[in-house]
Amino acid sequence: MRIAYIENFQGYYAANQTIEPTTLMGFSQFYSDPAGTRSKNYSIAIDKALSRFFAYGISYVDRNLELEAVRNGTEIVDTLSTKERIADAYFQYIPNVQVSMSMGLGWDRRSTAEIVSESDSLYVDLYSVPFVVSLFADNGASFTVKQTYFKQRFSSLQSPDRQKQNTWITSVIAGYRFPGHFGSLEFGLDNLFDESDEFVNYDATTLAFYPGRLWFAAININI
C-alpha cells in the first residue's frame, strides 16, 4: 500500500519546466494547473501480484485547489476553489515473455471554478477503459495495439444539462530494441480511425487524445 500527502504551488514561470522529481511514491507531484494555484493532494494506492502471470492495482487521488482570479472589468481579486477526484485501476496478464495483455479503468472528475468564458465547462467527468496487447520477439522487435474507450459528461453555462460523448480510439506501435540495451526505435499511429471529437484530459485544460490521425516516430539512445 502507498499513501501520500502532497502540497504544491504552481509558480509563475516563463517556461513550465522543472528538474524536480515528477512523482513521489508513484503519485504525480505536478499537474497542468493555472499559475498561482495551490493544491493539497491526498493519495492512496494498492498494487498486488497474485502470481508470476497476473497483477492488479488501484489508486485514488483527492485534490483540493485554490487560485486567485481578478473579476472581469474590476481590480477585485477572488480566491476560487475547485476539486478533482482521480481513480484508476489496472489488470495485467503476462503469460510468457512474448505476450503481455492489460486492461485499465479510469475515472476523473473536476468541478471547474476558473471560468473565463461562457463556453468553459463547470463539471467534467471522464471515463476511460484502455485495452493493450503487446507482442515481443526474441530479436528485439515488438508490436502493440491499444484500444481505449472514452466517455465524457460535462455541463456549461450555455448548456446546463449534462452533455455526453463517447468514442473508441485505436493506436498501434511497432518498435525495435537495439542490442546491448543501446536504445530503441518506435513508429506509431495514434487515433487510427481519425476521431475528431475533443475529449478533455483529467485537468480539463488539455485533451485526452489528439482529435485527428497522428503519425509519430521516436528514437531513444542510452549513453
What domains lie within the chain, and their CATH numbers? 47-221 (2.40.160)
Q: Is the pLDDT of residue 177 over 80?
A: yes
Residue 52 class from Cβ within 10 Å (0-12 exposed, 13-18 middle, 19+ buried)?
exposed
pLDDT band at 202 (very low <50, low <70, confident <90, very high): low
The pTM assigned to this predicted structure is 0.74
pLDDT band at 119 (very low <50, low <70, confident <90, very high): very low
Q: What is the DSSP string of 128-152?
A: EEEEEEEEE-TTSEEEEEEEEEEEE
Q: What sign results for the dihedral spanned by CA atoms 38, 17, 111, 147?
A: negative
93-113 average pLDDT score: 87
104-128 average pLDDT score: 69
- pLDDT tens for 151-170 read 888 766 555 556 678 889 99
Q: Is the pLDDT of residue 8 over 90?
A: no
Residue 44 class from Cβ within 10 Å (0-12 exposed, 13-18 middle, 19+ buried)?
middle
- pLDDT tens for 17-58 read 666 667 777 777 777 676 777 888 899 999 999 998 999 999
pLDDT band at 100 (very low <50, low <70, confident <90, very high): very high
Contact (Cβ atoms closer than 8 angstroms) between residue 220 and residue 183: yes
pLDDT averaged over every residue in the chain: 82
pLDDT band at 115 (very low <50, low <70, confident <90, very high): very low
